[in-house]
C-alpha cells in the first residue's frame, strides 16, 4: 500500500513538472538573414504566401519593422522542428528567386494599359500562363524608361513570354495608330496666326490696290490728256466746248 502511494506521488509530481513543457518547447526561436529585396516575394500578395507557411508549420514568422537596424533578419518562433522546416522552405524559395532569369523588353508605353488590362486582369493572366513575373515602369519615376518591361522567371518561360508580348505590341500598336489617325481626321482645323479663317466669309481673291484705274481721270491735266487743252475751234466745231461736229 505504501509502495503504491509513493508511485502515485511521483507520478503527480512528474505531471506537475511537465504541464508547461509543451508551451516551453513551442517558444523555440531562430533567426536568419534574407536579402530584404526578396521579402515581398516571401510574403506574397496580401500576405497570402507567408500565411500559408505559418499555417503549414504552425509557427509565427516576423519580418523586421521599418526603420529597424537590420532589415534582413527574419525571426521564426514555434517548435524547433517546425521552425527549422519553415526556415528551410523560405530559404528554398529564396534560392529559386536568386536563380531566376531576368530580361528587359522594349514595349511602346502606349500599349501598356492594354497589356495590364482592367484591374490588372490582363497581366495576371499572362503571369499565370507563362509562370513569370512582369514589372512595368512607374510613371512617377523620372529615371525609368517608360517603354521598358522586366520579365523574371525560368529562362524558357521568360523567352516565351517575351515573344508573346512582342506579338501583342504589334497587334495593339496598329490599333493605337488607327485610333489616332481617326481622331486626327475628326479634329476641327486648327487656327493659324491667331486668326479664325472660318469667320472671314468668302475669299476676296487676288486684289491689286493703287492702280491708275482706282482714281477718276483728270481731264484738265496736260500731262495725262495733252490734246484736251490744245484743240483750237475749227470749222464745224461749236464753241460751246463740244468736240463733236455740228450737223448741217
Residues 120 and 73 in one domain: no
**SS3 at position 58:** coil
Residue 39 lies in a domain: yes
Residues 115 and 76 in one domain: no
Which pLDDT does position 7 carry in this prediction? 45
Domain span at residue 92 reads 22-98
Which pLDDT does position 129 carry in this prediction? 96
Which pLDDT does position 245 carry in this prediction? 55
Residue 159 lies in a domain: yes
Domain of 66: which CATH number? 3.30.1370.10
Residue 174 lies in a domain: yes
Residue whose entry in the numeric block shows the C-alpha cell 517548435: 79
d(CA 17, CA 11): 10
Where do the DSSP E strands lie in the chain? 28-33, 60-62, 73-78, 101-106, 133-135, 148-153
Residue 214 lies in a domain: no
DSSP string, 65-109: PTT-S-TTEEEEEE-HHHHHHHHHHHHHHHHHHHT-EEEEEE--G
Residues 164 and 113 in one domain: yes
Residues 94 and 105 in one domain: no
pLDDT in tens, the chain (248 residues): 445 544 444 444 454 445 565 667 788 999 999 999 899 999 998 899 999 999 999 999 999 988 888 899 999 999 999 999 999 999 999 998 888 899 999 999 989 999 999 999 999 999 999 999 999 998 777 788 999 999 999 999 999 999 999 999 999 888 877 677 667 777 776 665 545 544 455 555 445 555 565 566 666 666 655 655 454 555 544 454 455 555 55
129, 163, 186 - which closes a domain: 186
Residue 202 lies in a domain: no
Count of domains forming the chain: 2
Residues 57 and 130 in one domain: no
Say if residues 84 and 74 touch (Cβ distance below 8 Å).
no
186, 210, 232 - which closes a domain: 186
Which pLDDT does position 181 carry in this prediction? 63
d(CA 218, CA 46): 99
d(CA 45, CA 247): 120
Amino acid at each position: 500500500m505504501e509502495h503504491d502511494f509513493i508511485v502515485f506521488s511521483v507520478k503527480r509530481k512528474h505531471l506537475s513538472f511537465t504541464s508547461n513543457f509543451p508551451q516551453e518547447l513551442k517558444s523555440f526561436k531562430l533567426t536568419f538573414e534574407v536579402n530584404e529585396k526578396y521579402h515581398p516575394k516571401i510574403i506574397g500578395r496580401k500576405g497570402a504566401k507567408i500565411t500559408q507557411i505559418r499555417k503549414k508549420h504552425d509557427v509565427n514568422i516576423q519580418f523586421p519593422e521599418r526603420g529597424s537596424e537590420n532589415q534582413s533578419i527574419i525571426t521564426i518562433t514555434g517548435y524547433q522542428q517546425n521552425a527549422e522546416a519553415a526556415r528551410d522552405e523560405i530559404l528554398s524559395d529564396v534560392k529559386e528567386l536568386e536563380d531566376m532569369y531576368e530580361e528587359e523588353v522594349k514595349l511602346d508605353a502606349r500599349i501598356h494599359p492594354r497589356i495590364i488590362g482592367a484591374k490588372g486582369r490582363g497581366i495576371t493572366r499572362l503571369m499565370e500562363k507563362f509562370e513569370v513575373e512582369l514589372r512595368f515602369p512607374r510613371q512617377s519615376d523620372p529615371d525609368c524608361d517608360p517603354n521598358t518591361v522586366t520579365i523574371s522567371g525560368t529562362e524558357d518561360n521568360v523567352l516565351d513570354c517575351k515573344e508573346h508580348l512582342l506579338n501583342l505590341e504589334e497587334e495593339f500598336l496598329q490599333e493605337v495608330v488607327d485610333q489616332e489617325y481617326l481622331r486626327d481626321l475628326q479634329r476641327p482645323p486648327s487656327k493659324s496666326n491667331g486668326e479664325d479663317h472660318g469667320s472671314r466669309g468668302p475669299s476676296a481673291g487676288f486684289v491689286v490696290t493703287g492702280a491708275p484705274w482706282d482714281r477718276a481721270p483728270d481731264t484738265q491735266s496736260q500731262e495725262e490728256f495733252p490734246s484736251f487743252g490744245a484743240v483750237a475751234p475749227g470749222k464745224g466745231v461749236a464753241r460751246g466746248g463740244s468736240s463733236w461736229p455740228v450737223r448741217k
